[in-house]
Structure 1
């Protein structure tokens, strides 16, 4: 009898044979070093990234995930909630990430209250616009029914370039971003949501602020990504998802970054870190270009 060799399992119909976007798996340390070496061309500027999006999309979790990658340990500095009963973030707050004792990376993340379906809940779109212009100080408690007034102690009347937002980051939950399929028929981004998101985008355009979209919960969007995160750029579902988000919300496809936030892990993972670093590099490059063009 000849030697019996089992044939390889057939490819999943949900996974393409080749990546539709190249990502240098296994080169985490190279990307990490690029971020560590980054210094703004204008020395007196620290880049400001402001995150916005629907309640429960993973804004605070993304900040924690970036913090975890850069500090090589799981962190929980930005308060996040797994119940999604309403926005867990109620105040405007900036997060710096420690680099070495006494020093920080030259960028800051601003977390805001999430957008909600119902009127009178969630962040006011006008507050997002004012924050982009640098008029909102850390510690401001969002009022869902009215934006900050000039008489508020947290209103910044004369914002500097550092106070302004340099990159607007839209956090979109990948498993509920509107593309319905057999595995996940739910839909979170309704027409009302999209109108608010579009209003914010148009305001950013008028201010010249670059935008990045982060697609979270990718392991729930496609089961094959849940099995192996390196399938992210082979996934047919994620490819369609990014195409749909681009078509419905206007983000260029190369400005949409799928990531997996840390949520149950107790240690970091190189492949998860690679996706997060890819998004972070895109944010840094966009912010640097914006600041230098002013």
Structure 2
């Protein structure tokens, strides 16, 4: 899987990278997930993604300076920050490629068409190619109603745009003692399977698009079990994104 990711290059020459948009509630582990992907690819625990209310594109260095992996991550502010969290219309604008780096999310109003941060004519490059919902396994099934409603709304918008979606369940070790004991128990754990099924029913994301992971958080050293879960979701993200850009007309 690591080799697959290292060798990956978008099939279309005019697409330099896949754009992956991450969303979820505050403290779900969105930034930690981006950091964990970077850690796995760099082979060393890194922390560069910070939870911010600004729209930001994260690139991951591949080897030499200015040589980056052909996928980027965009992070959004939490779904339920004070006064209502990220504006649903802003997520739609981001998916369509209208939002540029540095835009400060404002829960009270969406990005206006005459803002400096509004990209009037987004190319296939600016658009989001894969949408990833990050949810802590510890929150399921008691995900607050307003969060479920927002996730469904965002999912509907992405579906209308044909954007593939998947979910990442974080904090699986905190949710299940069996997994805390040994991460390899993740696919044997009936408890985790129930959590995935409950989440699937709550928001309508199919089971085969829900991935349990443990983010690098307090670890100092890399761990193979953590890596393999992160890599399996990353591989699926790449496959989804590649399918999407190959269906689109540039």
Query: One fold, TM greater than 0.5?
Result: yes
Contact 1:166 1:210 survives alignment (8 Å): yes
The unaligned stretches of length 5 or more in structure 2 are: none
Mark the structure with the bigger radius of gyration: 1
Q: Which runs of at least 4 in structure 1 moved beyond 6 Å after TM superposition?
A: none
Q: Is residue 30 of structure 2 the alignment partner of residue 59 of structure 1? A: yes
- What is the aligned partner in structure 1 of residue 210 from structure 2? 256
Measured against aligned partners, the alpha-carbon deviations of 1:53-97 in whole angstroms (never above 9, x if no partner) come to: 111100000000000000001111101xxxxxxxx4210001110
- 151, 171, 176: which one aligns with 1:197: 151
- 90, 97, 113: which one aligns with 1:134: 97
Aligned-pair CA distance for 1:117: 6.8
Q: Is residue 57 of structure 2 the alignment partner of residue 94 of structure 1? A: yes
Distance 1:93 1:115 in 2: 16
Distance 2:41 2:52 in 1: 23
Distance 2:79 2:92 in 1: 13
- What is the aligned partner in structure 1 of residue 124 from structure 2? 161
**Following superposition of structure 1 onto structure 2, how do residues 172-187 of structure 1 map, counting pairs within 5 Å?**
172-178=135-141, 187=142
Contact 1:117 1:193 survives alignment (8 Å): no
After TM superposition, the score normalised by the length of structure 1 is 0.82
- What is the aligned partner in structure 2 of residue 234 from structure 1? 188
Aligned-pair CA distance for 1:44: 2.3
1:104 counterpart SS class? coil
Q: Is residue 46 of structure 2 the alignment partner of residue 75 of structure 1? A: yes
**Following superposition of structure 1 onto structure 2, how do residues 211-250 of structure 1 map, counting pairs within 5 Å?**
211-250=165-204
Measured against aligned partners, the alpha-carbon deviations of 1:228-275 in whole angstroms (never above 9, x if no partner) come to: 000000111100011111111111100000000001001111110000
- 119, 123, 139: which one aligns with 2:86: 123
- 28, 31, 34: which one aligns with 2:4: 34
Aligned residues: 246
2:178 counterpart SS class? helix
Over aligned residue pairs, what C-alpha RMSD do you find? 1.0
Contact 1:117 1:192 survives alignment (8 Å): no
- 207, 213, 229: which one aligns with 2:161: 207
- What is the aligned partner in structure 2 of residue 113 from structure 1? 77
Measured against aligned partners, the alpha-carbon deviations of 1:201-232 in whole angstroms (never above 9, x if no partner) come to: 00000000000100000001110100100000
Q: Identify the structure with the greater helix proportion.
A: 2
- 211, 232, 244: which one aligns with 1:278: 232
Contact 1:95 1:109 survives alignment (8 Å): yes
2:68 counterpart SS class? strand
